[in-house]
Amino acid sequence: MHKVYTKLDRIAGNVISLEADEVTYRELAMVRSDLGDSLAQVIRIEGRRVFLQVFAGGRGISTAAEVRFLGRVMQVPFSDALLGRIFTGNGEPRDRGPAITQNMIPIGGPSVNPAKRIIPRNMVRTGIPMIDVFNSLVESQKLPIFSVAGEPYNPLLARIALQAEVDVIILGGMGLKHDDYLVFRDTLEEHGALSRTVMFVHTAADPTVECLLVPDVSLAVAEKFALEGKRVLVLLTDMTNFSDALKEIAITMEQIPATRGYPGDLYSQLAARYEKAVDFEGAGSITALAVTTMPGDDVTHPVPDNTGYITEGQFYLRNGRIEPFGSLSRLKQLVNNKTREDHRSIMSVMIQLFAAYRETLEKQSMGFRMSPWDVKLLKYGERFENEMMDLSVNIPLEKALDLGWTILADCFEPEETGAPSRLIEKFWPKEIVKKEEEKEDQETATK
Amino acid sequence: MSKNTGKIIGINGNLISVAFDQPVVQNEVGFAVVGDTRLKAEIIRIRGTSAEMQVFEDTTGLSVDDAVEFSGEMLSVHLGPGLLGQIYDGLQNPLPALAEQCGFFLQRGTYLAPLDNKSRWTFTPTVKKGDRVRAGDAVGTVPEGIFTHRIMVPFRMRGEYTVETVAKEDDYALDHAVATLKDERGDTHDVTMVQTWPVKVPIREYDERLRPTEPLVTKIRIVDTLFPIARGGTYCIPGPFGAGKTVLQQITSRHAEVDIVIIAACGERAGEVVETLREFPELTDPRTGKSLMERTLIICNTSSMPVAAREASVYTAVTIAEYYRQMGLNVLLLADSTSRWAQALREVSGRLEEIPGEEAFPAYLESVIASFYERGGVVRLRDGSVGSVTIGGTVSPAGGNFEEPVTQSTLKVVGAFHGLSRERSDARRYPAIAPLDSWSKYPSVVDDEQVERARRSLREGNEINQMMKVVGEEGTSIADFIVYLKSEYLDSVYLQQDAFNEVDAATGAERQQYVFGRIVKIIDTPVQFEDKDSARRFFQSLTQITRDWNQARMDADEFKEIEERIDKMITEVTDYA
């Protein structure tokens, strides 16, 4: 039987404190106020005084509010019945379905023993050439999408979710706009993917602190599915909101901020979540894709900066396209040698030429003379941007590689590309070559 | 003996306050008891009758009034044969053994013996009855892989001792007493093959500390030639994410000419450690022909493992490094990344509510970093042999800005600075060490004058390149343009190195001297071209050929052939005016 306390001595922001006995660290409590019940978690104990963060926020809580300690840590239900369902950050149904209370599992479990990890080896195909060809996503990878507000990062996540070859999709929404949440739900439903999806959604209208639970809840469920042998894709959007919630609590607790108000343990907090991405030997895997919005498009902002040090690469989303420079998949070398023999060469050749195109653009804007080579590059760059980079392009990897050769053949002579001659012989489109030869034949004939 | 126990009176994250009534020691280890689990913790501050302890585990479920058992010992490591090839966490828990016992996850409160006490080693005595010995003196040796592991009088035994008995040559278990020593009062002490030592105290059982002067060859050209490291020296590698810090350390750990490499993966990605874990046993050490793992030890406390243990991990690593140095071996300690360690200090300092310094790092950050790097060094032991600990730490500056406290405090105490630049890594110029900003105080493996000439070429080339960005190629004189092309040539064929090519990945000192001399000569040769285009074309093909040269074995005919072709190309364009 748990005692009920009714005497709060401090309410500041979303943190309350009271005197209580036999409370354990990180224990949950139920706080009753006029606005309804809310879960709260113990975040500090000083003698008899206990500090709790209230997930629904401190608003409307009376100093005489009932606080009942539950004697357990935060848990979520786990079963196959979760699939196709939508929950709030603390595990209550958001759709009209019944609450699930069986088989509760704790969240925020211990980290995986590094000696038990294996080197990732499987590619996750997405149908997006900028990912598949240039920065392949690898099973068990953790990758953020760096972008500014207003970029179509949520539609991109939804597309990856639909097209990725995985068994279970878990979406953790933090501070999601309500319309975005509906878009996610409807898109997944339309394409019949909802039945293999579990959504934990915290919308912008919900109390801020609640979003702190979303990554832990999502990853705890993902981990269970993975241990059952499922390949799980976890989508988290947006981790900047999660970090802001951490900041809010830290400031309320009068912690000394490190950079720009964020707590000193931001790196450890983010790493504890991202490092859940894993490939279990003999079981399933967790691949994590997260959105990190960069305030003011500043990659040195503490959230993207710390994230970059933790994750295995990053995608930059800029002007509605995945930017080839800066974007990086640190694990692509592990898989792109097993796809098709021309994969690596197409990847480096096309990027080098695209870099040259960007330089030419710069020269052009400064008014320098355009050489015949520059003209070729300009043509190439335009085709590359429209046919490869555009997010609406949706083709499998092999088609994308073929398309790469077609674009190269349309714009350059084989030896101008710097591709290995062995591959040129095999993959350089013969028809175009033939066409040109015919043209030359005709020209000589007319002469 | 009654156990000294205290009671928890406060919990804040991984910091607990504990009330005690019997004496306790600063940095003493204690165990917080929660149910059946005992969580390791260390005292970091004492005030009146309460002590603040950092817990090396998740503190969920701890409660006020829970007991804390003090051990009376400072945080220590076990030292003895069998350390090499091991994979430990920050507290010297063997991770593979832990995986066998607990499965996929790290279960808190599970501590296993770092060394297997039952393992047997062939002991050969080096002292006889009646010999006088002191702490750090060998009483015998055991073979450990390719090394002769000295079994030493425990470092914590002060004063002089007389050997009473010593075991004869045979196989013994690790915890078997191989010698008994008598102190001045006549008490006897057993010496086993394993001893413990507190990690935060340097081992000082040597005659003299020497100046680090002998180069430590890493086989990375830009390092050995331009920014060399010395045996017993210290260096740091700061760089933004994605610039290749970890890859650079991995390459170093493979090719560096030292006896033992200790890798401290401190608060970084688990995936990167896994690559080392899985690949090293497969790779052969070119010097011994044995598996690389036999000379490697990994201390692995990745980013999602408990923060306080991360702080301990670099000390665990350096203590083991010092232990092997005591055997007259050259040890290289690679810490990746010291910023994560500094952040662990910051987290604890914040919870202690200490007055913060810059960016909330504790005010003592500088002295802590300094005393860590000072544990590197080359020493002459009492038996005349020389051993060294070289420390290389990566730094992950926030926002890639080198002006932050960790980078700045580190720069003050290290002997070489390998600054990685985002620009170079974006341009795929690896290793991305910035040639104009980095420095080293140690002697190079090549001739100093030639190095100076190369530096000048790089500086001038850079200036011309900057100018060209404003005035365009049209506005640059052909003489300047050639200076620029030469510096680019030097950069492409010497500073850049292909880590994936078997030959190019590791360039020994002798080859560096030869090739560098040749390239500096090319840079010094006056050349003449009709126009810029022909100059560019010439250097493009020269670069291509020189790269092929880099990939040819030095003893192969190909090497000579390509060299002759290069000579011929140069002669054709030399300006004899």
Question: Do A258 and B303 lie within an 8 Å CB cutoff?
Answer: no
Task: Please list the alpha-helical segments (H only) found in B380-444.
Answer: 405-413, 422-426
Chain A residues with beta carbon closer than 8 angstroms to that of B425 = none
Tally of CB atoms within 10 A around B169: 10
Q: How far apart are CA B499 and CA B446, in angstroms?
A: 21
The answer, yes or no, to whether residue A433 has pLDDT greater than 60, is no
Chain B residues with beta carbon closer than 8 angstroms to that of A259 = 359-360, 398
- The tokens describing B162, both together, are 């007389």
Question: Do B307 and A302 lie within an 8 Å CB cutoff?
Answer: no
Phi, psi of A162 (to 5 degrees): -65, -40
Q: What is the pLDDT along chain B (577 residues), one digit of tens a residue?
A: 458 999 999 999 999 999 999 999 999 999 999 988 999 999 999 999 999 999 999 999 999 999 999 999 999 999 999 999 999 999 999 999 999 999 999 999 999 999 998 899 999 999 999 999 999 999 999 999 899 999 999 999 999 999 999 999 999 999 999 999 999 999 999 999 999 999 999 999 999 999 999 999 999 999 999 999 999 999 999 998 888 888 899 899 999 999 999 999 998 888 888 888 888 888 888 778 888 999 999 999 999 998 899 999 999 999 999 999 999 999 999 999 899 999 999 988 988 889 988 888 999 999 999 999 999 999 999 999 999 999 999 999 988 889 999 999 999 999 999 999 988 887 778 899 999 999 999 999 999 999 999 999 999 999 999 998 888 777 889 999 999 999 999 999 999 998 878 899 899 999 999 999 999 999 999 999 998 889 988 998 899 899 889 999 999 999 999 999 999 999 999 987 6
Burial of B540 (0-12, 13-18, 19+ CB in 10 A): middle
Chain B residues with beta carbon closer than 8 angstroms to that of A45 = 10-12, 63-64
Q: Which tens digits make up the pLDDT trace of A114-140?
A: 988 999 989 999 999 999 999 999 999
**DSSP secondary structure string for all residues of A45-84:** EETTEEEEEETT-STT--TT-EEEE-SS--EEE-SGGGTT
Does residue B334 contact residue B261 with C-beta atoms inside 8 Å? yes
Taking a contact as any Cβ pair under 8 Å apart, which residues of chain B between 543 and 572 contact chain A? Answer: none
The region that residue B63 occupies, defined by phi over 0 for left and psi between -120 and 50 for alpha, beta otherwise, is beta
- The tokens describing B47, both together, are 């005030």
Residue B500's closest chain A neighbor by CA? A333
In angstroms, what separates the C-alpha of B265 from chain A's closest C-alpha?
11
The answer, yes or no, to whether residue A441 has pLDDT greater than 70, is no
DSSP classification of residue B25: -
Q: Which of A22, A70, A105, A113 to mutate to test the interface with B (most CBs of B within 10 A)?
A: A113
Question: Do B271 and A112 lie within an 8 Å CB cutoff?
Answer: no
Question: What pLDDT does B2 receive?
Answer: 57
Question: Do A300 and B62 lie within an 8 Å CB cutoff?
Answer: no
Question: Do B360 and A24 lie within an 8 Å CB cutoff?
Answer: no
In angstroms, what separates the C-alpha of A438 from chain B's closest C-alpha?
32
Question: What pLDDT does A359 receive?
Answer: 86
Does residue B378 contact residue B209 with C-beta atoms inside 8 Å? yes
Predicted complex ipTM: 0.87
The answer, yes or no, to whether residue A440 has pLDDT greater than 70, is no
The answer, yes or no, to whether residue A142 has pLDDT greater than 60, is yes
Report the CATH architecture of B78-110+206-440. Answer: 3-Layer(aba) Sandwich (3.40)
- The tokens describing B85, both together, are 């090839």
**What's the fold here for domain B120-193?**
OB fold (Dihydrolipoamide Acetyltransferase, E2P) (2.40.50)
In angstroms, what separates the C-alpha of B237 from chain A's closest C-alpha?
15
Q: What angle do CA B315, B317, B323 make, to 5 degrees?
A: 100
Q: Which of B241, B250, B339 to mutate to test the interface with A (most CBs of A within 10 A)?
A: B241
Q: Which tens digits make up the pLDDT trace of A172-213?
A: 999 999 999 999 999 999 998 999 999 999 999 888 888 999
Output the CA–CA distances (angstroms, integers) from residue A418 to A134, A356, A373, in the order listed.
17, 13, 14
Residue B283 sits at the chain A interface (C-beta within 8 Å): no
Does residue A287 contact residue A234 with C-beta atoms inside 8 Å? yes
Chain B residues with beta carbon closer than 8 angstroms to that of A24 = 60-63
Question: What pLDDT does A442 receive?
Answer: 55
Question: Do A256 and B360 lie within an 8 Å CB cutoff?
Answer: yes
Domain at A4-69, CATH from 2.40.30.20, 3.40.140.10, 1.20.1250.20, 3.30.360.10: 2.40.30.20
Taking a contact as any Cβ pair under 8 Å apart, which residues of chain B between 465 and 484 contact chain A? Answer: 472
How confident is residue A439, by pLDDT bands cut at 50, 70 and 90? low
**Domain A75-334 carries which CATH code?**
3.40.50.12240
Residue B304 sits at the chain A interface (C-beta within 8 Å): yes
One-letter amino acid of A93: P
Question: What pLDDT does A421 receive?
Answer: 79
Q: Which tens digits make up the pLDDT trace of A370-422?
A: 888 889 999 999 999 999 999 889 999 999 999 999 999 999 988 788 788 78
Residue B300's closest chain A neighbor by CA? A114
Residue B12 sits at the chain A interface (C-beta within 8 Å): yes
Tally of CB atoms within 10 A around B97: 18
Question: What pLDDT does B429 receive?
Answer: 87
Q: Which of B60, B359, B469 to mutate to test the interface with A (most CBs of A within 10 A)?
A: B60
**Domain B448-573 carries which CATH code?**
1.10.1140.10
Question: Do B12 and A46 lie within an 8 Å CB cutoff?
Answer: yes
Q: How far apart are CA B390 and CA B453, in angstroms?
A: 29
* Closest by Cβ to B274, choosing from A46, A114, A308: A114
Q: Which of A23, A25, A300 to mutate to test the interface with B (most CBs of B within 10 A)?
A: A25
Question: Do B63 and A24 lie within an 8 Å CB cutoff?
Answer: yes
Closest listed residue to residue A286, CA positions, set A142, A85, A159? A142
- Residue ranges of domains in chain A: 4-69, 75-334, 343-446
Question: Do A268 and B10 lie within an 8 Å CB cutoff?
Answer: no
Question: What pLDDT does B575 receive?
Answer: 83
Q: How many CB pairs under 8 A join A and B?
A: 165
Question: Do A116 and B99 lie within an 8 Å CB cutoff?
Answer: yes
More confident residue, A245 or A446: A245
Residue B99 sits at the chain A interface (C-beta within 8 Å): yes
Question: Do B426 and A312 lie within an 8 Å CB cutoff?
Answer: no
Residue B397's closest chain A neighbor by CA? A305
One-letter amino acid of A91: G
Question: Do A328 and B242 lie within an 8 Å CB cutoff?
Answer: yes
Does residue A46 contact residue A61 with C-beta atoms inside 8 Å? no
Chain B residues with beta carbon closer than 8 angstroms to that of A300 = 398-401
Neighbour order of strands in the sheet with B120-125: B147-152, B138-144, B120-125, B170-173
Q: Which of A69, A116, A285 to mutate to test the interface with B (most CBs of B within 10 A)?
A: A116
Residue B95's closest chain A neighbor by CA? A115
The answer, yes or no, to whether residue A447 has pLDDT greater than 50, is no
Q: Which tens digits make up the pLDDT trace of A27-66?
A: 999 999 888 888 999 999 999 999 999 988 888 899 999 9
* Closest by Cβ to B278, choosing from A25, A27, A119: A119
- Residue ranges of domains in chain B: 5-74, 78-110+206-440, 120-193, 448-573
Chain A residues with beta carbon closer than 8 angstroms to that of B64 = 22-23, 45, 47-48
* Closest by Cβ to A45, choosing from B11, B277, B340: B11
Question: What pLDDT does B1 receive?
Answer: 43
Question: What pLDDT does A44 receive?
Answer: 94
Question: Do B350 and A310 lie within an 8 Å CB cutoff?
Answer: no
Residue B198 sits at the chain A interface (C-beta within 8 Å): no
Chain A residues with beta carbon closer than 8 angstroms to that of B475 = none
Residue B361's closest chain A neighbor by CA? A258
Residue B109's closest chain A neighbor by CA? A110
Question: What pLDDT does A431 receive?
Answer: 67
How confident is residue A432, by pLDDT bands cut at 50, 70 and 90? low
* Closest by Cβ to A309, choosing from B105, B279, B396: B396
Question: What pLDDT does A434 receive?
Answer: 47
* Closest by Cβ to B274, choosing from A23, A47, A118: A118
Residue B86's closest chain A neighbor by CA? A115
Residue B11's closest chain A neighbor by CA? A45
**Domain B5-74 carries which CATH code?**
2.40.10.170
Burial of B478 (0-12, 13-18, 19+ CB in 10 A): middle
